[in-house]
Structure 1
Amino acid sequence: MPLLGLVFAASLAGFCALSLAMDRHSEDVFGRGHTPGAWRQWLQLGGTALLCLSLWASLEAAGGSVGWVLWLGALTAAALATVGLLSGLPHRFHWIASAAGGVAFLSLLFCL
């Protein structure tokens, strides 16, 4: 069961990191003139690593055939949540993204 939580939490944190690497979304969250700058590559790398972690967790949880479907479903749900957070709660976006990253990290520790 913790692997399923890891799949969604890592997907959400990954999409949040990738969106914060974009100038427009970073300005929406942190205010005008705040671009990721030097953090852009680290946010892109971290977001990609979190999405790969969610793929690994879904393949571990459900196997090779169903795991891909589980991962695509988690990606869809996380993408919709990211869009909803960016449009509805941009000032709390980075806190929710950090919480999702923390849940993903704790789930990973619990699974190992």
Structure 2
Amino acid sequence: MGALLLALVFVASLAGFCALSLAMDRHSEDVFGRGSTPGPWRRWLQLGGAALLCVSLGASLQAAGSGIGWVLWLGALTVAALATVGLLGYAPRRFHWIASAAAAVALLGLLACLLLAA
């Protein structure tokens, strides 16, 4: 269960940062083409990104406790932010597919953690 939680920390952080970056006009244009903005999806992307970062925090605190969990979470945020920047810079056309896959894996991991804890 510990390895599943650690994977969930990173994947949820990555999916959260991807959602937050797609909520910005500039990054949305980089990924979907010129003139493309998130429009009505902006608020949902922001809420989803924030929720995924909260899931990441919860998994981090559950995996490592309240002392080390915060440090683990900040490290995962750093790595996920660097991965998001790298994806936007080097693979912008594949960005939304990777972001969708990360979100799906994060939600499946959360479901698995909840089922294993019960």
Among 30, 47, 50, which residue is 1:48 paired with? 50
2: CA distance, partners of 1:108 / 1:33: 35
TM-score w.r.t. the length of structure 2 is: 0.94
- AA matched with 1:85: L
Equivalent pairs, count: 112
Question: Which residue pairs with 1:38 in the alignment?
Answer: 40
Q: Percent identity?
A: 79
Among 20, 38, 59, which residue is 2:61 paired with? 59
Among 24, 27, 37, which residue is 2:26 paired with? 24
Among 99, 102, 105, which residue is 2:101 paired with? 99
Matched, 1:77 2:79: yes
CA RMSD of aligned residues (A): 0.5
Question: Which residue pairs with 1:90 in the alignment?
Answer: 92
- AA matched with 1:70: L
1: CA distance, partners of 2:106 / 2:48: 13
2: CA distance, partners of 1:51 / 1:96: 17
More deviation in 98-107 or 80-89? 98-107
- AA matched with 2:71: V
1: CA distance, partners of 2:7 / 2:21: 21
Flag structure 1 segments of 5+ consecutive residues without an equivalent.
none
- Would you identify which runs of 4 or more consecutive aligned residues in structure 1 move more than 4 Å? none
1: CA distance, partners of 2:112 / 2:51: 19
Flag structure 2 segments of 5+ consecutive residues without an equivalent.
none
